[in-house]
Amino acid sequence: MIKLKNVSKYFYRGEPREVQALKEINLEIEEGEFSVISGPSGCGKTTLLNAIGVLDTISEGTIELNGREIAHLSAEEKTHIRLTQMGFVFQAYNLVPVLSVEENIGFIMRMQGYTKEEIAHRVKEVASMLQIEDKLDALPNLLSGGQQQRVAVARAVASKPKIILADEPTANLDSKNSMKLMDMMKELNEKEGVTILFASHDEYVVENSRRVILLEDGELVS
């Protein structure tokens, strides 16, 4: 599904403070995977995840999504790919503060042009999967951290993307909520068949992922 070939990423290239965050990464992510990119702090997990999600540019190499090279597309095309084929969950500040839970979940679907009825049906479906169906009218600031993250996951999965990229989704959660979130995401992966790729150093996430992609100093170790 996703193929990375000789992907390298430099920050401040050509300057004295140049840093090579990714070193010739060759990686394949298959459809339906439930994997984690892990490693010590500063190893390049987020950078790699951002590169796969075409949130950031790469300095060398190529990235293919279902056979199409996506790393060198225009900003508009990359945005379109993120909208239609990917879902994102971040560590914090995930939700639009002025929209209700229901509106946040249905946001991407609305951007994609789904009808009101389709959105309403899918939102209910996903919300009940993530056990937040009783919070649909609430604003994000009235939810706990764990609930907010579940809403973020719901939004990411509502539009049925090909892959969900989650960057440290449990970093701001206590262990109980972390476990809950992981269980729900596993369930989503199994039921919906959506590919989920984490970037995390959380032991619980690592232990519960089917595949661990280890990074050290920007290089793939395993």
Partner 1 sequence: MFRLALKNTLYYRGRSITTFLLTFISAYFFIVYVAFTDGSHSSMLKNALEVYTGSLQIYQKEYRDEGGYDYLIEDTEKVFELLNHTEGLKAYSSRLETYGIASSKERSAAIMLTGVDFAKEAQLSELKKAFTEGVYDSKGACLYLGSDLAKKLQVKIGNEVSFVGSAIDYSFVAELFKACGIFKTGMYDFDTQSAFMNREYFDQIFYSQNSSSYIAAMANKMQENDQIAGQITQALPKDLKVYTWEELMKPMVELMEIDSIFGYISMGLFFLVIFFVIMIYGFINVSARIKEFGILKSIGLSDRNIDALLLYEIVILTLAALAVATPLGAYTAYYFEAHPIVIEGMSDMYKEYGVVSDEVPTLFVPFTVAWNTALVFVLNLLSVLYPMFYVRSYTPTEAMRHV
55 binds partner 1 (CB under 8 A): yes
**Is 131:150 a contact under the CB 8 Å cutoff?**
yes
50 binds partner 1 (CB under 8 A): yes
93 binds partner 1 (CB under 8 A): yes
CA-based angle 141:171:163, to the nearest 5? 90
DSSP 197: E
Residue nearer to partner 1 on the CB measure, 83 or 212: 83
Q: Rounded to whole angstroms, how far apart are CA atoms 139 and 144?
A: 11
Please state the closest distance from residue 140 (CB atom) to partner 1, in A.
11
- Applying CB under 8 A, which of residues 22, 65, 108, 126 lies at the interface with partner 1? 108
96 binds partner 1 (CB under 8 A): yes
Strands 60-65 and 219-220: unpaired
Q: Which of 139, 203, 194, 140 is nearest to 168 (CA)?
A: 203
142 binds partner 1 (CB under 8 A): no
DSSP 202: -
**Is 188:11 a contact under the CB 8 Å cutoff?**
no
At 115 the three-state DSSP class reads: coil
Residues 61-80 that bind partner 1 (CB under 8 A): 75-76, 79-80
- Only one of the segments 81-89, 116-124, 169-177, 202-210 lies at the binding site for partner 1 (rule: CB under 8 A); that segment is 81-89
- Applying CB under 8 A, which of residues 107, 146, 168, 196 lies at the interface with partner 1? 107
- What residue ranges bind partner 1 (CB under 8 A)? 50, 53, 55-56, 75-76, 79-80, 82-84, 86-88, 90, 93-99, 107-108, 111, 155-156
